[in-house]
Structure 1
């Protein structure tokens, strides 16, 4: 079985991807510094796949440790790179933290594998499109000036990867620009596990429903959308994880588009914040306490993806809808509450 390094593999999307890789016949190897994740997730992954993945705890910004790891794991054929800081607001307050963590880790990995054939899948984001000129937004859309250091690190990382792949055919690269991951594994054993106050909508919804939070503040109710709230393309995290497996498979076969390519990963459907809240209430049977607040600086008004390229060329398609997203997230929140995880 091919060995795949999953950096940040203890995190939300990373842990689900580890599960999907294993179930697809790969051997995932996790590297994570646990700065935004929990060591107990390793036990949870083991419960799902009945195997304990190899796990190494260190920071990919430490060049020497990356070099040592690569020497010990010369047989790794692919990398799925999640490890990065990801809170937009924090990035505005601490830009150097984001440039160091998100760029150094990428450069160290690429440098350490220099001269070795490697299939590289990068965790990018629809944030590179900013406020799109047309919807749905396709991969050929203009890359807008980033509205945060976090978003800028994704743009810079894509540029580094494209130039690196252009300079050496050893690097076969796919950047997945995904939209808004939500939901949890069907087992309710892994899901989004925010440390502190959630930065994303759905954990805030589930924590409010369970009683951890008093209410949800909807940032802005006067936007140019049908109900006045922002619109996003929500994608189930399991579908997203499967897209990473599909990307590795395409790279193994040889991508006819060349050794650098990008794909949008979403459902192609936009839901407003209020629609998401109502979908959760319907799926869970729990009424939510929410209020419309002021707009949040930097928020894109509406964005959803044109995912035709991923459907046809990546041979991948989202299968889970908004109902499954909400019910799985709620099951995970209930599991956390019942177990004291």
Structure 2
């Protein structure tokens, strides 16, 4: 591709072929942004980008895509030489909690080194705006289940969460040290759902770690039954309560953050969630309604480290970012089921 003209500016989306990244790319295009995607495809493929092009009415391969690992400093520089970027949305990271416990060095090496390289190249090419895909895993869960605010105590229980917190800290230090930088950390709670078309959704490469992809694979017959870990919590039905957010709401929140960056607020943190929680059994019931049949489950003992309730206080995002969720639990489950039913093997139609 030829050098970009001086008037054309792009948004770089790292990890843009992943679940939340690809839905955000679609929303960016819908709102008129020019997007370049960088992804090493270690946990994804370029098929989601083809689906984005289809849904956006674009020609095949019209989204500029570069298969580059953020560990490849020269490869990353090559991308920055080709385009003039106004800002970066940084999704690229390994994200499986269980795997991070088994292979912590992989997570520290990949997530933190990738972020360091990205920031180095941003500084080199004078790109000073970044939206970072963070996580509610950076918080210490409130023992009484009170909604978590942006100033709630931090305390990670696994290497994945620690990498997110360290990446936040690194970005904050750069923002403090480098004049003119603007950075927004988006800490989201439990993403689920899929695009309403059923053409895009989450495609775990292994047995899912998270509840809703697991539930949907049981619903479609790929897995036998849902394991409910703990039925004696101090909640309305004894099972753990979490705050779920539709992936398209998340995508819209990233665009809202991108629009806020030029206002020169420096470093900011926002929680993204609904502010309400659903229990494990409530989620299973809601998916049973969406798919039209009972989803089997078994009760298992609590898992070490799990807590009763983790929900978000979304007031800051509503007040300062102008973002509130607009999709309810019914939409999350219906959209997730439409994706899973139409794509039982994910993007690989075997």
Fold agreement, TM-score > 0.5: yes
Say yes or no: does 1:236 pair with 2:246: yes
Q: Provide the residue aligned with 2:177 in structure 1.
A: 167
Say yes or no: does 1:139 pair with 2:139: no
The counterpart of 2:293, out of the listed 281, 286, 291, is: 286
The counterpart of 1:321, out of the listed 312, 328, 332, is: 328
| Cα offset, 1:2, TM superposition | 4.1
Q: Provide the residue aligned with 1:86 in structure 2.
A: 95
Q: Provide the residue aligned with 1:46 in structure 2.
A: 53
> Taking structure 1 as reference, are residues 69 and 2 closer, same or farther at Cα in structure 2, changes over 3 Å only?
closer
1:113-132 per-position Cα deviation (integer Å, ceiling 9, x unaligned): 11514210000011111212
Q: What SS does structure 1 have at the residue aligned with 2:343?
A: helix
Count of paired positions: 336
TM alignment of 1:2-21, pairs within 5 A: 2-21=9-28
TM alignment of 1:1-341, pairs within 5 A: 2-51=9-58, 52-73=62-83, 75-114=84-123, 116-132=126-142, 135-144=146-155, 146-252=156-262, 254-255=263-264, 258-337=265-344, 340=349
Report if the CA contact (8 A) 1:117-1:170 is conserved.
no
Q: Which runs of 5+ in 2 are unaligned?
A: 1-7
Range with greater deviation from structure 2 (63-72 or 196-205): 63-72
1:188-236 per-position Cα deviation (integer Å, ceiling 9, x unaligned): 1100000021111111111111111111111111222221111110000
| Cα offset, 1:38, TM superposition | 1.8
In structure 1, distance between residues paired with 2:293 and 2:37: 36
In structure 2, distance between residues paired with 1:234 and 1:228: 18
Q: Which runs of 5+ in 1 are unaligned?
A: none
In structure 1, distance between residues paired with 2:301 and 2:78: 49
| Cα offset, 1:337, TM superposition | 3.0
Range with greater deviation from structure 2 (9-18 or 279-288): 279-288
| Cα offset, 1:320, TM superposition | 0.1
> Taking structure 1 as reference, are residues 89 and 337 closer, same or farther at Cα in structure 2, changes over 3 Å only?
closer
> Taking structure 1 as reference, are residues 117 and 6 closer, same or farther at Cα in structure 2, changes over 3 Å only?
closer
In structure 1, distance between residues paired with 2:260 and 2:113: 27
TM-score computed with the length of structure 1 as normaliser: 0.95
Q: What SS does structure 2 have at the residue aligned with 1:181?
A: strand
In structure 2, distance between residues paired with 1:171 and 1:269: 33
CA RMSD of aligned residues (A): 1.5
TM-score computed with the length of structure 2 as normaliser: 0.93
